[in-house]
Structures are given as C-alpha cells and as structure tokens.
Amino acid sequence: MAVLETSSPTDLGLDPERLGYLDEHLRRYVDSGRLAGTLVLVARGGEVGHLAAYGLADRERNVPMREDTLFRIYSMTKPLTSVALMQLYERGLVQLDDPVAKYIPEWADLRVYVMGMGPTLVTKPASRPMTVRDLLTHQSGLTYGFLERTNVDAMYRERKIGMAEVNGTLRGMVEQLAELPLEFSPGEHWNYSVSTDVCGYLVEVISGERFDRYLERHILAPLGMRDTAFWVPPEKRERFAACYGLGAKGIRLIDDPAESAYLREPTFFSGGGGLVSTAGDYFRFCQALLNDGELDGVRIIGRKTLELMTQNHLPEGKDLASHALGRWAETTFAGIGFGLGFSVTLDPAKAQISGTPGEYSWGGAASTTFWIDPLEDLVVIFMTQLMPSNAYNIRRELRAIVYSALTE
C-alpha cells in the first residue's frame, strides 16, 4: 500500500486542536484495555487531514498498529457488493424490481414462517415475490443466525447458513436458503440479514464471473485497492491484525492472525462480510463515492446511480425505528433510513447524532465504521478489532468529535 499523504488540517477547514480530542479519546480506550488498537482517518476535499494509529495490531506479539495494518472489515464489505450489483444494473442486465427467482429459480415459491419447528413447522405463501431491491435494502425476509431472536434464526444456526465450512460456496448457501421459510413477506419490514451475500451470488449469476474475480476486476483493481481481498496471502501476514472479543475480564483473543481462516483462500466469498482491507484502500473506495463514482479518472459507478443508492428506500420515507423487525444493525435506528447498501441519515436531531441529512455509512462486526458526508465533503474511516460492534458507543462518540472539528 502506498503511504497516505496528509495535508494541513487547517487548510481543509479542520481544527487541529479538536482533532486532538479524537486521539485523546481513542488513547483512553486503548490505555484502559478496552481496545487493543485503533486507526482513524479524516479527510475533506479528497485530502487526508488527520491520520492516527495507536496501540497494538496484535497484543499477544506486541505488534504495533500501523497505517497499513490489514483489518477484517466484515459488513463494510456490503457497500462494495452493492456497488458491484448496481454496476450490472447500469449495463441493463438487472432491474431493481426483478424477482429474485428470475436468477434463483428454487426461490420461486418462497414461504413465510407462521409457527412451530421441525415436523410441526407451519408456513404460508409470501404475499409477493422477493425483488432485487428487497435484497439490497434488507427488506427480503431473510435473517442472520446470530441474531438469536426467532425460530427462523434458530434454523439458520442449525444449518450454519452463511458459514463457509458448511455451505462451501455462495451456490451452496442459496440452496440451503431455498429450504427455509422467510421471517416475513418481502417489503413488510427491515431486518439485517444474509441478503447482501445473496447479492454477491446474483453478481456471479448475472455476470457469469466468480464473485471475488468480478469484484477484483471491476472495483478493487480499477481503484488501486491492492490490499483488499477475501484472504491474506503469505507476503502480507505480518500486517494482519488480531481480532478480539469482549470478555468478563476485558478483551480476549478470538482470531489469531497466525492461525486465522483468513490465511487460506476461501471458496465461500461473502459479499456480506468477507473482505479484509486497510484504511488507505477503503479511503479510495469512499473517495470514489464522494466524487460521484469516480477517482483518478476511473469511474466505478454512475452519478445518478449513486444518487439512487444513497436515497432512503424504506416505504413512505420511514426510518429504521418504525420499519425494522429486529433491533440489531451496524447503526442506530431513529432518524436513520436505508438505501441500496448503506444507512442514510434522515434527521440528525431525531437520531441524536452530529451529522448531515443525506450522509451515508455502514460498519463492521469488529467495530469498524465509515461515513461519507457529501455536503461537508467529508470522509471518516475508523478501523479497530473488537467484536461485537455494539460493545461500546464509540461510533457516535467519534461523530461528535469529528463534527466539532469542522471550522468551515
């Protein structure tokens, strides 16, 4: 990865003293043992005004956090997958109102859970077909097994839906899903789910190219995202961060970078959460989006398509608080809508966050996050390595500090 150049924050309309609050705040997290390490990037006008690494990428081996550390970005994979599918939309190969069964025939007669389990399972027909937009907006009726809320979640856990060692490939996952009921009829609610993994499968079916190869050819290579992939090759392993979980006595190692499954090239390419990346690489992706889909003369998505993606697609302009079935996501719900792969800020006052209507964002399971604010010409990326992502309120805290630093 090329070294990220930084510019004077003052020249970018950023207050250096207030950006110092950012470093102080993150140091408190690390010095108290709540996080192993952090990396934060703040950019305006396409230039990085603040970049700070602190703490350890690998606590057990005393490896310091670096600007080019490789992180598991988990659900920050979702925006890239969504852009990939919308590239095919721009070629006229898929429409948002296409029934998903057009591409997955086994899903032609999806049914919805009513009650029971096993042989006593009662289902009913879905009120309408699932569409491509339902997948992009998490209104599909699918779910995640880790949510542990319903009997449908339990069925996902029993079959280990989305787990590479069981499903093997994206095709294996959709075959498994064909045998399970939906939590609700498509469009009735918003629910965080494996929908974006299915979007990755649609990219394969529609393009005729394996999903990881499509992503590399149409997004990663054109943008120069050389450190972003579904696995970590041998020559990059020394830069791969450890991953920690929240335990009773502080953080504990849950994925050793010397033994991680990410060290082996997979067969299951999770469009919902499979990528590893660096802050520098992800900045190139974010900056392309902020530039209406183009960076350094390379266009990955059209301006009008991106406008469509970053509008609120929830019915009647609702926010997540009034439309979501569950309460798990990589965002808060009040005052927040959802587009085609991103959360979208509708009302900062209702959301009780600093921000701007129209900004869009998402995060990952290991507490990473990013947001893009077109009005302020702002990109913020935060990388760390702690699961679950709701362990602390750090994302909202970072927003308060960053927005306080804007001077113009």
pLDDT of residue 119: 87
pLDDT of residue 60: 97
For residue 108, give both structure tokens: 């032609």
Of all residues in the chain, the percent with pLDDT exceeding 70 is 99
**pLDDT tier at 2, thresholds 50, 70, 90:** low
**pLDDT tier at 165, thresholds 50, 70, 90:** low
What value does the mean pLDDT take over residues 86-114? 98
**pLDDT tier at 327, thresholds 50, 70, 90:** confident
pLDDT of residue 147: 84
Give pTM, 2 decimals: 0.97
By mean pLDDT, which of 33-42, 161-170, 188-197, 267-276 is the weakest?
161-170
What value does the mean pLDDT take over residues 281-307? 98
pLDDT of residue 164: 66
84-207 is a CATH 1.20.1200.10 domain: no
pLDDT of residue 1: 46
Q: Is residue 29 over pLDDT 70?
A: yes
Per-domain residue ranges of the chain: 84-207
pLDDT of residue 398: 98
